[in-house]
Amino acid sequence: MLNKIRSVILMMKPKQLVLLMITMYGSYFIAKGPLDPLRLTLLTLVGIGSAGGVTALNMYLEYDIDSVMKRTRNRPLPAKVLEPDEALTAITFLILIGVISGYLINKYVAFAALMGLYFDIIAYTELAKRRTEWALLFGSVAGSMPALGGWAAGRGSITLTGLLLSAIVYVWQPLHVAFIHYYYEDDYQRAGIPTIPTKLGYRAFAKLAMSSIVLSIIFIWIIILILGRGYVTGTLSTLLGIGALASVAKFLSSPSREAARKMIKFASPLVGIFFILLPIEIMLSNII
């Protein structure tokens, strides 16, 4: 039983889930959500159930792809550690818990959870991933929903600032995903999955990555100007963004799998640091 539970957790991609929940909690506290144990528990269930459950459902639906790709063939379903019906039962439970918990907070949180489900499973996995290299633009919407849900849980509605917070996550994702596609390009070709590096070349996706960084910085500063605080976070995020731009420029001059691997490692802190530091800076400014 413990091995089955561990397999379900692996299907939720724990590292990715942690990052998505950081954006969710960060948005909640930026919205000045209350330190209410019940609401925070429900929000946690939304994150685990919706974001984690949808990720696991994506993996369930891509069982055939995972069986072909070297980096994914040891996942629970291809490795036959978990049976498909067992996985689907657990996934259904997770998603139901996530959506119901969202409704118990408010309708806007539930809306964000359902939009994450739609864009990840229908738009990205079923309609776009096997057909177009631009599928990541649909998948990125799903990845931005935890931030929107966190804001809605804290503020009680969806406002411009909440949309901008989710937009930061949205525009950051091509930076992360494009370099994964480059690093594992042979795997994606073997599975017949079109990617920007394969279809358009490394220059196209590097420019896409640069655009992601610039847009992230712009959205960060718009949020800071709206809030009237967070200048330290904005400055640090800008410096990190400049460093990322320099790294992408270096990749452009000398593309390699090793350089792509470094960018994959570097990408996650770019968004995580903002969603951790800004709530802290807001809290400290309230105290001071």
Position 288 scores a pLDDT of 64
| pLDDT at residue 35, as a whole number | 92
Which pLDDT belongs to residue 98? 97
pTM of the full structure? 0.94
DSSP, res 133: G
pLDDT in tens, the chain (288 residues): 778 889 999 999 999 999 999 999 999 999 999 999 999 999 999 999 999 999 999 999 998 898 888 888 899 999 899 999 999 999 999 999 999 999 999 999 999 999 999 999 999 999 999 999 899 889 999 999 999 999 999 999 999 999 999 999 999 888 788 888 888 888 888 888 998 888 888 788 888 888 999 999 999 999 999 999 999 999 999 999 999 899 888 888 888 888 888 888 777 788 889 999 999 999 888 776
Specify the pLDDT at position 181: 87
User: In 3D, which of 163, 165, 225 has the Cα closest to residue 27?
Assistant: 165
The pLDDT of residue 251 is: 86
d(CA 160, CA 59) in angstroms, rounded, equals 32
Tokens read off for 14: 């724990």
**156 three-state secondary structure:** coil
- For position 244, which CATH number holds? 1.10.357.140
24 closest CA partner among 255, 285, 276, 281: 276
> Tokens at residue 210, please?
């640069």
Number of domains in the chain: 1
- pLDDT for res 7: 93
Structural domain for 104, as ranges: 2-287
